[in-house]
Structure 1
Amino acid sequence: MSDNRTIRGRGALRRLARAGAALAVLVGALAGATATSGVAQAATQGPCDVYAAGGTPCVAAHSTTRALYAGYGGRLYQVRRSSDQAVRDIGVLGTGGYADAAAQDSFCAGTSCVITVIYDQSGKGNHLTQAPGGGAAPGPDNLADATLAPTTLNGHRAYGVYVAKGTGYRNNHTTGIATGDQPEGMYAILDGTHYNGGCCFDYGNAETSSTDTGNGHMEAIYFGNIKVWGYGSGPGPWVMADLENGLFSGANTRYNANDPTVNHRYLTAMVKGAPNQWAIRAGDAQSGGLSTFYSGPRPNAAGYNPMHKEGAIILGIGGDNSNGAEGTFYEGVMTSGYPSEATENAVQANIVAAGYANSSATTGALRGTGSGKCLDVPNASATPGLQAQIYSCSGGANQTWTRTGDGRLTVDVGGTTLCLDAAGGATADGTKVVTWPCTGGANQQWRFNADGSVTGVQSGRCLDVAGAATADATPVQLWTCWGGGNQKWTLG
């Protein structure tokens, strides 16, 4: 999708011929739902095994959290640390298993890291790297902080790809990705609570030139609550399709009442397309099945039937490198051919069995998602009453916070344990957030919310970076919650 664009509004579908084949796919996926214990944690099937069994194999498979094939034991992603610019590939704990998050933690200890490559597990070499400049933004885009999206899968720690504004990944020279009007499918696992109204948080098929080349030159999953080109019911966010020069929630109208607001903490989002047919499906990645929000003909505006897909792959940006969106990506694939609903349902069963859940971390850096910087005790001083601030993450003790069972946030500086405290027990906007000896008071208790905000139990107000600034030493305060990135935090 592009910024500054106007709204514009053959063949039989490829389907599985026999119900027995669909049943085999589903049974196989369910059989593969249970991973073995021990170091390897090898699944008997991954989502790409399910797609292959359904006759629509993966041609791109990206994940920073787990292997997407039972037989995959290679690299998931690469990180680069800021201290010396060294890089390290992060793989799986064992064939078919989860990401080796401990390898990242060790490599990045005492410094910060960014994700430089998200490797393609399909064997086709469709890796995602830093997006170059394009028609909407000169670029190159930023790379994601490697620690801002901690998660767990069946209790195993991993990291997703946290896309802040200006962040994007791309591959303009792919192999096997659908072009023209060829059929394809795709899914992505996203954080349904992390989104905005910017253009455009996409994953899927886009232009190879990084520019807007016209209607129907894209086919990608979009997630967010922008309403410029199309929208669904409720306030958003919505899963829609970015087909270029239009975010479509349905057929030919801007509004599809059957495309609901969805904000599951872990969200399965699917888009697929074939000659004069496409569909949107989605569901909770932690439980249950999929719902179909649209399935029908292509838009009747010029350029969308037949399609003119070009076969590049994007993540976090629009086709012309529009990079004003936010979101979090954990895994996703693209297929050759139009997957059946039975296949997709089996994939969803596999995803649910992967056991996505919030990170169980209780000690670590408290990072501001809007700034990428850490909550910091100035000068590592144990003097009571110092206003907390954000500062470039160093891994120091003065940036290491512990979330206690009774809701306190404690920090050890100079051998002294202090609590994060709303100064004087005040509750008004602008109240300083300071470090103070622990008293057990309600002004020292903090609630971590599903949307990433941290609120004071006493005040109900958000832990806020003053003025939404991002510079080192910007003070932290209480402020009425409004959903901004300067009020979103991750601990880990």
Structure 2
Amino acid sequence: MFARAGAAGTLLVGALVGATVTAGPAGAAASGPCDIYASGGTPCVAAHSTTRALYASYNGSLYQVRRASDNATQNIGLLSAGGYANAAAQDSFCAGTSCVITVIYDQSGRGNNLTQAPAGSAAGGPDNLASATAAPTTVAGHKAYGVFVAPGTGYRNNHTSGIATGDNPEGMYAVLDGTHYNGGCCFDYGNAETDSRDDGNGTMEAIYFGNIKVWGYGSGNGPWIMADLENGLFSGVNQHLNSGDPTINYRYTTAIIKGGPNHWAIRGGNAQSGNLSTFYDGVRPNVSGYNPMKKQGAIILGTGGDNSKGAQGTFYEGVMTSGYPTDATENTVQANITSMNYGTGGTSTGTTGALHAVGAGRCLDVPNSSTTSGTQLQIWDCSGQANQTWTRTSSGQLTVYSGSTQLCLDAYNNQTTAGTKVVTWPCNGGSNQQWQFNSNGTVSSTLSGLCLDVTGAATANGTLAELWTCNGQSNQQWNLS
């Protein structure tokens, strides 16, 4: 059971049809990731993004949202063929209410759309749907939204076209928020069972991102890019440590898994700049059941193959291919991704979103959505709810809620000593309510110079926030996005 998860979405009814690839007008991008894969002989058979077109000619819908006020739905498309999401259309449609993402359309033309994940053999019913506004971002300078997966959230398609089965080769990449993760099972994107059950070793092949250590793991404390191959998350050839699979937590992270007959690889890099690195490239795991593979060809996002849904993460774009892509093809795709200049809008004034605790992989949270002045803040699984939505104002305040219930992040009683509680309080313009965002990711009090700190570098839900002497460690690093 996962406390404080968002309200469960209802099952979609009726056919949901994505748009197909069509010729775009002059001025469209010269190529997208799926054009590059096609040129390399490994075409996309699924292409999902809520931020941009993944083909230069695509001019259909990216995703669909449903608003809470009347349950009406609207498809969100592009500003132009081959371009970027029309976030203004979503903002207009969802104004004055909340929205969830109901469909993530497949741009490949194969109809491999992702919708609400049904119940599986893991405990719990159908998954929740993601808040449509919990993961704001920019791509090529244009506002867009990612898919914010809080625990209990997930998408799936068990009836696909063209996805690899058996031991057939495939590749996949995803652009993820490298600071939003946990040790739950399992934040995945990729190939899974068509019955939402655990059908045994080798029946999955998906990208996993997080820091669970029950099965394989990499160096450092995580998170790691690994492969979920069912009944095992693998960082290399065995179910233990692969020191060559490093902790990788770029704010925007490119994650790649690819596999074929007795051969698979893990690659990754910074989705904002630089090249890909290879973290494993070799034979299938030395555990029975993974050679040959028995892939079934469903697609999952945010959950495990049996619908294990305790994980969290944020997804911006990803594809699956037919055939095993070459490193050279993937390197060209990475160059395309970095050219998009993914960004958070920075920590500029007026930015609104979740304040992520980088070290814990959780969010700064007002306990139980309290509006009582003096409530001490904590960290909790990111949910996209109002009690985790912070706005940085032009005067350096951090506010939560709005209207008559608006409160400010406050250094309790104007105290300036290490260990000072961080609470909510009515906004008054005092220096104990003014905060500086620093280049190393810390957030410091203008009054005392102390840093916003997760007490004791703990990572558990309910850990309290306080002020402490700045040390630059991960429990003092925050990301407002």
Residues 218 and 256 (structure 1 numbering): CA distance in 2 closer, same or farther, change over 3 Å? same
Indicate the residue corresponding to 2:393 in structure 1. 403
1:286-297 to structure 2, matched below 5 A, reads: 286-297=272-283
Aligned residue in 2 for 1:142 = 128
Deviations 1:71-130 (A, max 9, x none): 001100111111111111111100000001111111111111111110000000000001
Tell me the equivalent position of 1:175.
161
Closer/same/farther in 2, CA of residues 418 and 172 from structure 1, 3 Å limit: closer
Does the CA contact (< 8 Å) of 2:188 and 2:303 recur in 1?
A: yes
1:421 aligns with 2:410: yes
Q: Equivalents in 1 of 2:26, 2:363: separation in Å?
A: 36
What is aligned with 2:173? 187
> 1:393 and 1:324 mapped to 2: Cα distance?
16
Structure whose CA Rg is larger: 1
Q: Which runs of 5+ in 1 are unaligned?
A: 1-35, 380-384, 470-475
Corresponding residue for 2:263? 277
1:89 lines up with 2:75 in the alignment: yes
Contact 1:433 1:478 survives alignment (8 Å): no
In structure 2, do the counterparts of structure 1 residues 262 and 437 end up closer, same or farther at CA, with 3 Å as the change threshold? same
Distance 1:461 1:120 in 2: 41
1:299 alignment partner, one of 272, 279, 285: 285
Which ranges in structure 2 are unaligned for 5 or more consecutive residues? 1-23, 357-361
In 2: Cα distance, 1:309 partner to 1:64 partner: 27
In the TM superposition, what is the alpha-carbon distance from 1:294 to its structure 2 partner?
Answer: 0.7
Please state how far the C-alpha of 1:137 moved relative to its aligned partner. 2.6
Give 1:179's aligned amino acid: T
Question: How far apart, in 2, do the equivalents of 1:164 and 1:216 lie?
Answer: 27
Q: TM-score, normalised to structure 2's length? A: 0.80
Mapped contact 1:455–1:463 kept (Cα < 8 A): no
Where relative contact order (Cα < 8 A, 6+ residues apart) is larger, the structure is 1
Within a 5 Å distance, the mapping from 1:451-466 to structure 2 comes to 456-457=445-446, 458=448, 459-462=450-453
Query: Alpha-carbon deviations, 1:399-428, whole Å to 9, x = none?
Result: 884422x6333699889x996432321254
Q: Secondary structure at the match of 1:272?
A: strand
**How far has the Cα of 1:450 moved from its partner?**
8.4
1:437 matched to which residue of 2? 428
Q: 1:300 to 1:76 in 2, by over 3 A?
A: same
TM-score relative to the length of structure 1: 0.79
Q: 1 CA distance for matches of 2:408 and 2:365?
A: 20
Deviation, structure 1 residue 429:
5.3
Q: 1:195 to 1:448 in 2, by over 3 A?
A: farther
State the percentage of identical aligned residues. 61
The 5-angstrom pairing of residues 261-410 of structure 1 reads: 261-360=247-346, 362-363=349-350, 365-367=352-354, 401-404=391-394, 407-409=396-398
Offset of 1:164 from its aligned partner? Answer: 0.7
* Residue type at the aligned position of 1:82: A
Counterpart of 1:447 in structure 2 is 437
Asked if structure 1 preserves the Cα contact closer than 8 Å seen for 2:377 and 2:465, the reply is: no
**Alignment check: 8 A CA contact 1:373 1:393 kept:** no
Instruction: Give 1:444 deviation, angstroms.
Output: 2.3
The one-letter code matched in structure 1 to 2:393 is: R
**What displacement does 1:362 show?**
3.6
Quote the residue 1:21 is aligned against.
Answer: none
Letter in 2 for 1:266: Y
Distance 1:449 1:238, change over 3 A: farther
1:472 aligns to what?
Answer: none
- Cα distance, 1:394–1:237 mapped onto 2, change above 3 Å: closer
CA distance 1:247–1:387, shift in 2 (3 Å): closer
Residue pairs, 1:47-86, within 5 angstroms: 47-86=33-72
Superposition CA RMSD, Å: 3.6
**1 CA distance for matches of 2:136 and 2:324?**
32
- Conserved 8 A contact 2:407-2:425: no
Cα gap change, 1:438 to 1:477, in 2 (>3 Å): farther
- 2:88 is equivalent to residue 102 of structure 1: yes
Aligned to 1:188, the other structure's residue is in SS state strand
- The number of residue pairs the alignment matches comes to 432
Deviation at 1:373, TM superposition (A): 8.7
The change in CA–CA distance for 1:224 and 1:450 in structure 2 (over 3 A counts) is farther
Whole-Å separation in 1 of the counterparts to 2:136 and 2:413: 33
